[in-house]
Amino acid sequence: MKGLIISNGEIKNDKLLRDVARDSDYIICADGGADYIADTSIKPDFLIGDFDSIDKDTFRKMERDKVTIKKFPIKKDYTDTELAINILIEKGAEEIIFMGATGSRLDHSLANIHLLYKLYKMNIKGTIVDENNKIFIGYGDIVIEKEENTYVSIIPMWERGSIVTLKGFQYETDRKKFEFSSSYGISNRIVKDRGEIKIESGECIIVISKD
């Protein structure tokens, strides 16, 4: 089952949101994330949060549409996005896409990226998607198809760094150590039909970006 979490960050591409929603089996809006779909045909299955950011008209629409709603107190230990993750885990999700997980609140953006690792440890595929980026946790053998005007960045998650081999890229490597405190793996390009990545000894954050 593929789940979609719509959070209260920034969503600038309505078509992308509609396309991702259409391809999802279960949709959860995290609080104000519901405002992004209030005037669309997208109907979420679940609305969750402390409801400190959702528009009142949007909330009433969710009630009219008989969306399942679960309210949490404002003073809580987890973000609305993580609470939504936990629901999808309980429902047996094998893949979770996040939209509205990035934006002007850098603390939330970073926390959401780290939540991808929570899913990774459970063998659940997690991807943050916005207008310019796809972000996921990578380890082992990874293949990325070439797209025009696209960059691939590989960022080690751990202090010990990662051993990375790259083939089909503008800058190839052969078991090169990518240091944790270095920008070495930023903004590479795929120059063949596909880029092949092999990561050893430490997971990495993979970012596929477009200007």
Q: What is the pLDDT of residues 28-42, one digit of tens each?
A: 999 999 999 999 999
Confidence (pLDDT) at 211: 82
Confidence (pLDDT) at 97: 99
Per-residue pLDDT averaged across 37-56, rounded? 95
Confidence (pLDDT) at 203: 98
Query: Counting beta carbons within 10 angstroms of the beta carbon of residue 10, is it exposed (0 to 12), middle (13 to 18) or buried (19 or more)?
Result: middle
Confidence (pLDDT) at 28: 99
Q: The whole model's pTM is what?
A: 0.95
Q: Are 197 and 165 in contact (CB under 8 A)?
A: yes
Token look-up 């790259």 returns 166
Q: Are 100 and 11 in contact (CB under 8 A)?
A: yes
β-pairing verdict for 194-210 and 133-145: antiparallel
Enter the tokens of residue 166: 């790259």
- Band of pLDDT at residue 210, cut at 50, 70 and 90: very high
Tens of pLDDT, residues 153-178: 999 999 999 999 999 999 999 999 99
Tens of pLDDT, residues 174-195: 999 999 999 999 999 999 999 9
Tens of pLDDT, residues 103-149: 999 999 999 999 999 999 999 999 999 999 999 999 999 999 999 99
Q: Which domains does the chain have, with CATH numbers?
A: 2-131 (3.40.50.10240), 136-210 (3.40.50.10240)
d(C-alpha 183, C-alpha 156), whole Å: 10
> Is it the case that residue 74 has pLDDT exceeding 90?
no
Confidence (pLDDT) at 75: 87
